[in-house]
Structure 1
Amino acid sequence: MNDKNFEYLKDQIKYTGFGETLENELKEKLQKEEPSFTLNHIAKYGEDTAMATLNFKKSEQSDMYFFNSYKVELQKENSKEALEQTFYINKGSNITMKEAFNLMEGRSVNKDLTNKEGELYNAWVQIDFKQTDDTNGNFKLNQYHQNYGYDLEATLAKHPIKELENPKYKEDLMDSLKKGNLQSATFLKEGNEIKQYIEASPQFKTINVYDNNMQRIDNRHSKEEKQSEIEQVSEKRGAKKQIQSADDDGPEAPKEDKRKRKSQSM
């Protein structure tokens, strides 16, 4: 067994969110020197159970093993079928187990990622449950890059959130949201402090707000989201006429002016 390889894989597993409980099993698998092997990890998030299968493969040129990916099966409390998604390990910042759970819950995660050229870039990542990748059956991962224009700090500033008044609390709040967490926050309304829950929504450049019963309460943002969806569909189809039709009042106004001027001249 390659001791340096063991130490590297042990740290990689730990910092991808699987802790240190797999350490002994990892060592046993490496000592067997098989072409590939898997490790299993189970995590509970509230009433939901997430089962991860970690995939390792030996190099064909050396005795080194590589942690290539992990598959998560999320069993929801009120669902019969488990939701499945495979997350790949790359040179940049890996998606952790908790972040994988948050993504499979439909939330967004902010990550520093690496492109094909090895260059680092930052983006929000969100699973698109309406599209799958034909090559591996995975749901598609949508990315909202820096140029997309989502500013989490500026978005939070639009809301009367008490934690924003304290620099440390503000930083902790933003870090939690970037990890894809549904985070509690204190809203100041008419002199009262109300505990609510928020999550980042980079696709619609806003945040979603929930009450203690996990019911959406930001109806105004919901309308904005619907409008944004319509605009995005129009852009994808290249239907510029549809966008222009929303401004029908524009071209009709001059015609009316012409009729008025004609009647005046008569």
Structure 2
Amino acid sequence: METKKEFDQVEYLKNQLKYLGFGEGEKLYKDLEKGINSKNQQFEIKTTSDKVLSGNKADFTLKFNKTDSGGVFLNSYHARLMNEKNEEISHNFPVNRENTFTAKEAINLLEGRSVKIEFHNPKSDQQETAFVQFNFDEPKTEKGNYLFQNFYKNYGVETDKIVEKSNLIFDKPEYKENTIKSLEKGSVVKVKFNMNDQVIEGKAILDPQNRNLKLYDSDMNRINTNKPLEGINHEDKHEKANVREQSIKR
């Protein structure tokens, strides 16, 4: 009979960091092992990411906690973005087993884009899908976090229809599916589209609030003014809510 493999705490945490997009570099792993082997009940390690728009910089402080039984857990991380204007934008992201924003999704939120999540709707007390983005117009919470602006399912954000309306061109069918997934994660996506009877290579960002794509040239200059999809009820158009980060689930 096969014996159950002994749980490897270090390997588990390394895989978690890799899965969440914090990398798998030698320094990161050495800092992790140093923290695990230290006598401190809590420890932090720092890392950076280059998956940002040109002129921006991002760094993360990963916060770990040890249990009395010897377990080590990544509880949360602090994400900080320095933009090209040297302005600091930061947020604390909780980490749990089921639902956690990845490092790239955190950057996308800090850069002002939206991410599709599974969301607990306080009105219906049900799990729903929604697009969320930071509300930079509201003051931060006591924990130093932004409130989220949410666009629920009945707001009418259907990415596949938005992509069709934008006349994007895909060399292979699977490229369309990959593009939709990337747009819903809040990424800036390389695309091809028709404009003035020409095929243009550029970039696209999903804009759930206006239910359209923002199209740019390769230098990120805006080149379209798409109108929102029609047919949305007036009441649904304003179905938005600001809730604290604890209500967010992935």
Using the size of structure 2 for normalisation, the TM-score is: 0.78
1:52 corresponds to which of 53, 60, 70: 60
5+ residue gaps, structure 1:
237-266
2:79 corresponds to which of 69, 72, 75: 72
From the superposition, tell whether residues 220 and 180 of structure 1 become closer, same or farther in structure 2 (CA, over 3 Å): closer
Check whether the contact 1:91–1:114 (CA below 8 A) recurs between aligned residues.
Answer: no
Larger RCO of the pair (alpha carbons < 8 Å, separation 6+): 2
Equivalent AA in structure 2 for residue 19 of structure 1: G
Q: Give the % identical residues.
A: 31
From the superposition, tell whether residues 43 and 220 of structure 1 become closer, same or farther in structure 2 (CA, over 3 Å): closer
From the superposition, tell whether residues 166 and 149 of structure 1 become closer, same or farther in structure 2 (CA, over 3 Å): same
Report the counterpart of residue 107 of structure 1 in structure 2: 113
Check whether the contact 1:92–1:112 (CA below 8 A) recurs between aligned residues.
Answer: no
Distance 2:14 2:127 in 1: 24
Distance 1:132 1:67 in 2: 27
Check whether the contact 1:52–1:73 (CA below 8 A) recurs between aligned residues.
Answer: yes
Equivalent AA in structure 2 for residue 169 of structure 1: Y
Report the counterpart of residue 44 of structure 2 in structure 1: 38
Structure ranking higher in helix proportion = 1
2:156 corresponds to which of 149, 162, 169: 149
Q: How does 1:107-186 map to 2 (within 5 A)?
A: 107-112=113-118, 121-163=128-170, 166-186=172-192
From the superposition, tell whether residues 111 and 140 of structure 1 become closer, same or farther in structure 2 (CA, over 3 Å): same
Distance 1:10 1:114 in 2: 30
Give the match's secondary structure for 2:165.
coil
From the superposition, tell whether residues 98 and 73 of structure 1 become closer, same or farther in structure 2 (CA, over 3 Å): same
Using the size of structure 1 for normalisation, the TM-score is: 0.74
Check whether the contact 2:155–2:238 (CA below 8 A) recurs between aligned residues.
Answer: no
After superposition, the C-alpha distances for 1:121-144 in whole angstroms (9 at most, x for unaligned) are 432221111123422121112232
Report the counterpart of residue 13 of structure 1 in structure 2: 17
Distance 1:143 1:94 in 2: 17
5+ residue gaps, structure 2:
1-5, 242-250
Aligned length: 224
Residue 95 of structure 1: how far off its partner (Å): 1.1
Check whether the contact 1:72–1:84 (CA below 8 A) recurs between aligned residues.
Answer: yes
Check whether the contact 2:213–2:226 (CA below 8 A) recurs between aligned residues.
Answer: no
Q: How does 1:216-227 map to 2 (within 5 A)?
A: 216-221=222-227
Q: How large is the Cα RMSD of the aligned pairs? A: 2.9
